[in-house]
Structures are given as structure tokens and as C-alpha cells.
A and B are shown apart, each in its own frame.
Chain A
Amino acid sequence: MDVVGYLDERGAGDRVRIPGRTEAISQLFVANHRRLVGLASLLVDDRLTAEDIVQEAFAGLYRRWTQLRDPHAAVTYLNRAVVNAGRDELRHGRRVVAGLRRMTPQSEELASAERTAVEHAEADRLWHAIRQLPQRQRQVLVLRYYLDQTEAQIAETLEVSIGSVKQHASRGLAALARSLEAAP
């Protein structure tokens, strides 16, 4: 079906065009947004906050674009920004959550996700155990087992030593194992 009666046929021209900041960030956004929302959702406790964190990360990237030493470092920057913002949000969120429920009503999607989780009780138990971990252990395990980052990459993202990464990973796994064994 032809729904178009008018098409601009001027074309893009012959010159190779270097994308500007907005275009480059848009491309990065399309390529990475969903993955980063997924990552952020593992570091905070709801999707809307995760989306806010990812928005902030890209807004920060936009502001710092000209200072970026290498466009390929953008993904590393975004990962780091999301992880750090997730840490801050979790701190803040845990402080206020007891006294103030989020004003946004729980979405059907979340309710659906919860129903799915009920159907997968084991994954649910594990997820709750992950949420109980100290922040640094949770970050290390998420980066290792969700993003498949190496210890060196995790160390770079979190700006800590490789030894520290190993230590947090080991302690985090041990804590999860204990939680699962203690569960009925």
C-alpha cells in the first residue's frame, strides 16, 4: 500500500557525515536505553526510578560530551553513571521508603511482573536475597552476572581495585547461598 503521495527525494548527499552530539547520543540512546533500564532496575527497586536514573545518565553524557576522551568511552560512562545513581537512589530510597510511599500508582506491568515472580518462586527468593545484600556486593554481582563484565571491567566501572571486586563477589555469593539454604 502506498500511503505516501509526497516523498523528499533529495537524499543524503555524497559526503560522509560525522554525527553531531545530539545524533550520536540519540543513537547511543536507542542502542542502550532498554539495557540500561534493565541494569538500573537491578540496582533500585522500581522501574520508574530506573527510567529516571537512565534519563539522568544520558543528560549527564550530553553535558559532558565534549569532555569525553573517546566516544567509545560513552558506554562505560553510562554504565558507571547508572550504577552510581542506583547506589545513591537506593540509599535515599531506603531512608524514605518507610514513611512515604511512591505517589505513582503501581503499574499493571509491575503487578504482572510480580505475578510472574510468584510463579517462579525460586527466582523470587533469589531476587529478594539479592535486594538484601550490601550495596557494593549487589553492584558487583549485577555487573558480573548481568552485564558479564570481567573483574577488571567491574573494577573500572566502580573505580575500586580488582581485589576488592573479588572480595565483594565472594562475600555476595556466600550470602546468597546462605539465604537459599535457610529458605524453607
Chain B
Amino acid sequence: MSTTELERRLSDALHRHAEDAMSTTNTDKQLVELLERTRDADTRRHRWYAGGLVAAAAVAALTFWLVARDTDRAEPEPVGPIGPKQVATEFLEAVASYDLGRAESFFAPEADLREWGGVEGWRSQQLWNQAALFEMDPGPCEAMETARPEIAHVECPYVYTGLGSKELGLDPFEGSSYVFTVRDGAIVTVQDHFEFMDNSYNIRVWEPFAAWVETNHPQDVDVMYTDPGNQRVTDASIALWHEHVYGYIAAKLAEQ
């Protein structure tokens, strides 16, 4: 083999191997990690911790998301007879930690989840929440008596962060609540009264992110959004939301 031929093959082998690594790294996510880490040299130790949290959260979210997609759902553990407030509280704790199997164990067999698109729709929505880095912090639940003792309505306020609002230094957004109908210790209806107008989430987070996507990833808009501008919840959409949230955080941190 001539030296020239060897050099050609060497160059080809190196580029092939490098391309494998390049095609599987996520530059946006890595940049977020770097920026969190170096954001403030004076509080570097703190930033390293925060960067680690962001990275760990990202890895945990992605890992869970992939596992949740690829693994057969475990059978829910039976739930003992507990009070309506406790049912709602434990359900929201499970939702907040994205322990979806446990959360689903609180649903009654006859639960009416039509407005979510059934259990599958509810689960997809949670996966989207997770991909978009939504974090919910539930407050104390309050039970409301009804004419029928076996049925209770329970309301649980919560605050949330999402779409990078926490990473960009915004406080949690208030004013939302979950309302449940609980019968015989199981959830039969669940409504999420998600507040996004009065608390300025729409203006401060949702629309700036949408504008950023429209500018930087116009080809993905139709996959990520429905016509009225709501999120589209599909496998392809969820993956794009997850990827672009990191890109958005990186871009905004770089501007700070």
C-alpha cells in the first residue's frame, strides 16, 4: 500500500470515528451545563452545584422519559383505604416526582379521564411536562364535603416552573390548582386548573420560548405546536420540546 493510499484511509477512518461521536452529542445541552457552571466566577462553587443539578435533572428526565417509553408499564400497587385529602396529596406527590405508575394507581377503574384523552393521554401529557422541564410544588389540599359521604371533592393549589424558567432565575408561578373527585379512596375525575395568564407565565415564559423556536427552529414549529399555538403532544414533539428547551436556556443564559 502506498503512503498516499494509507493517508487517505487513515483520514477516512478518523473522520468516520469522529462523526459517530459528533452525531450523538447534544451541543445545546452541553452548553447549558457549561454556562450554569461558569455563570458567576465569584459564586463558582454554587454554580457548579447548580450546573450539576441541571445536568443531573436533564439526565434523570431523559432517562426516565426513555425508560417510560420503552418499558412495559408495571402493574400499579394496590392502594389501601385512605382519606380523600391524602389520596389527592399522594397522587400529586407522585405526579410531581414523575412517578407515573404510582400516580396511576390512585385512579379508580371507572375514572373519567376523557378530557385528558384517557389514561394514555394523561400519561403523554406528563411525559411532555417532564420533557419541557416542568416542576410542580403542590400545596396543602382541602376537602370539600358533598351530599354523598362516599364522594369528596378535593382542591390542591400548586406552583410551578417550566420551560427553563427556574434555570433562568424566575420564581415559581402561582395560582394553579388541581381539583379531584375522590370516591371510596380512588380518584374518579381530575382537573388541572393551570393558570398562565394572571401570573404572567404566558408573557414571561411561554411566548418568548415560542418566539425563539419560531426564529431558530422554524421547521419544528408545526411538529411542536397545534394551530392555536398549544403544545402538540406526540413522541416526535416531546423529543423536540426536550431538545429545544435546553437550546433556549443556553441562548438566554448566554445573553445574561
Contact = CB atoms under 8 A, between A and B. Distances in A.
A86 B16 CA distance: 19
Interface in A1-41: 1-8, 22-23, 25-27, 29-30, 33-35, 37-41
Contacts of B221: 1, 3
Interface in A116-150: 116, 120, 122-123, 126-127, 130, 141-142, 145-146
B6 A55 contact: no
B9 A41 contact: no
B192 to A, nearest CB: 21
Interface of A: 1-8, 22-23, 25-27, 29-30, 33-35, 37-42, 47, 50-51, 54-55, 58-59, 62-63, 107, 109-110, 113, 116, 120, 122-123, 126-127, 130, 141-142, 145-146, 173, 176-177, 180-181
A34 B31 contact: no
Nearest to A2: B229
A50 B251 CA distance: 23
Interface in B9-35: 9-25, 27, 30-31, 33-35
B218 to A, nearest CB: 10
B30 A41 contact: no
A33 B31 contact: yes
A26 to B, nearest CB: 4
- Interface residues of chain B: helix, strand, loop or mixed (majority): helix
A130 B13 contact: yes
Interface stretch (B82-90, B127-135, B144-152, B206-214): B206-214
12 contacts: A3-B213, A5-B229, A34-B22, A47-B20, A47-B25, A50-B21, A54-B30, A58-B34, A127-B17, A141-B14, A176-B10, A180-B1
Contacts of A126: 9-10, 13
Interface of B: 1, 3, 6-7, 9-25, 27, 30-31, 33-35, 37-39, 41, 202-203, 207-208, 210-211, 213-214, 221-222, 225, 227, 229, 250-251, 253-256
Contacts of B3: 173, 177
Nearest to B203: A6
Main DSSP-derived SS at the A contact region:
helix
B27 A41 contact: no
Contacts of B6: 173, 176-177, 180
B21 A26 contact: no
A113 B13 CA distance: 13
A107 B213 CA distance: 29
Contact of B18 (A23, A27, A38, A180): A38
